[in-house]
Amino acid sequence: MQTTNTVLMIEPIAFGYNAQTAENNYFQVEQKGLEVQDKALEEFHVFVEKLRSKGVNVITIKDTLDPHTPDSIFPNNWVSFAADGTVVLYPMFAPNRRAERREDVLNAIKYKGFNITKIDDRSNAEKDEKFLEGTGSMIFDHDHKIAYGSVSLRLDEKLFRDFCAEYGYTPIVFHSYQTVDGIRLPIYHTNVMMCVADRFVVICLDSIDNELEREKVIEVIKSSQKEIVEISEEQLQQFAGNMLQVQNDHGDKFLVMSQSAYRSLDKHQIAQIEQYCEIIYSDLETIETNGGGSARCMLAEVFLPRN
């Protein structure tokens, strides 16, 4: 099943610019002299309420002050929750993000009535300086058992291929880039340049510089019978690739994105999306600017079976 009706969100308690992740996240800009945590918390609560108003189940868990984890608002990088009861813990690039892997978060999910049968902890790869940052770095087409992965410091190709072999996904490996000060640099997470929904794929094809790789990605998407909604690099910079499709208990589907992403789309792109599902968008400007992540990064999908 491609979409879930339940997401985990971590409520920020000390959100802010993370210099460790900024090394290769070129979306981050430090805002000084602003109440960044207060604004981020306000954006978080409005976003949660918008999702709940549409019937999406949102599990919110508060971050902790100690240890200080400025990026805890983006849980999809350290954990995933599969339909067979497996929880995967992932190896993280930034040392101060590794403390986000908290047992009490998993216990809270269990307390909510979900069944965890196995924990697959892959974080040992951090010792070898190799990383695979969850559904930030891997984009899944669950229905067709395809995984898309753009190679970067946060997606090690061998770890990606090993993961796909373990869980029965076909890996589609490519390289995507963004222009930073006139230089083409690797995009840090695949989920800022593409989003796979049940019947369509939002993707910035212009970010895949290698023509053969680009053609391969197009071919695979078309073979999965999904419509391509193409976005530009300019739209990618507004987080238009950082979207997630979710559903409510009635099976109504929604594409979730930030306000900046929504405003960057043209009428044709919006019409392409809305023929398949309603759009939910929310103002996440403070979170996007300081954290370099957007709506999709804030949502960890929960596919776990219920007790």
Average pLDDT of the chain is: 94
Q: How confident is the model at residue 161 (pLDDT cuts 50, 70, 90)?
A: very high
Evaluate whether residue 138 is within a structural domain: yes
Distances in Å between the Cα of 159 and the Cα atoms of 163, 172, 189 are 6, 13, 15
Q: Does some domain include residue 267?
A: yes
CB 132 within 8 A of CB 156: yes
pLDDT (tens digit, 9 = 90+) per residue, 162-200?
999 999 999 999 999 999 899 999 999 999 999 999 999
Across 50-55, average pLDDT: 98
Q: Could you please report the per-residue DSSP string of 9-57?
A: EEEPSS----TTGGGT-TT-----SS-HHHHHHHHHHHHHHHHHHTT-E
H-helix or E-strand spanning residue 234: helix 233-237
Residue identified by tokens 């309420």 is 49
Domain count, the chain: 1
- CATH code, domain carrying 259: 3.75.10.10
Among 75, 41, 45, 40, residue whose Cα is nearest residue 286? 40
pTM for the whole thing? 0.95
- Looking up tokens 């222009």, which residue turns up? 179
Q: Which domain holds residue 43?
A: 6-301
- Rounded CA-CA distance 28/41 in Å is 18
**19 pLDDT tier (thresholds 50, 70, 90):** low
Q: How far apart are CA 101 and CA 78, in angstroms?
A: 6
| Structural domain includes residue 52 | yes
Residue 78 forms part of a structural domain? yes
Residue holding tokens 């995507």?
176
Question: For the chain, percent helix, then strand, then coil, each to nearest 5?
Answer: 35, 25, 40
Predicted confidence at residue 26, as pLDDT, reads: 47
Q: What is the pLDDT of residue 253?
A: 98
Task: Using the predicted structure, report yes or no on whether residue 28 has a pLDDT greater than 80.
Answer: no
Residue 307 lies in a domain: no
Question: Could you tell me what percent of the chain has a pLDDT over 70?
Answer: 94
Burial group, residue 225, by CB count within 10 angstroms (0-12, 13-18, 19+): exposed
**Nearest one of 242, 244, 264 to 255, comparing CA atoms:** 244
Residues 27 and 80: beta-carbon distance below 8 Å: no
> Structure tokens of 74?
């983006």
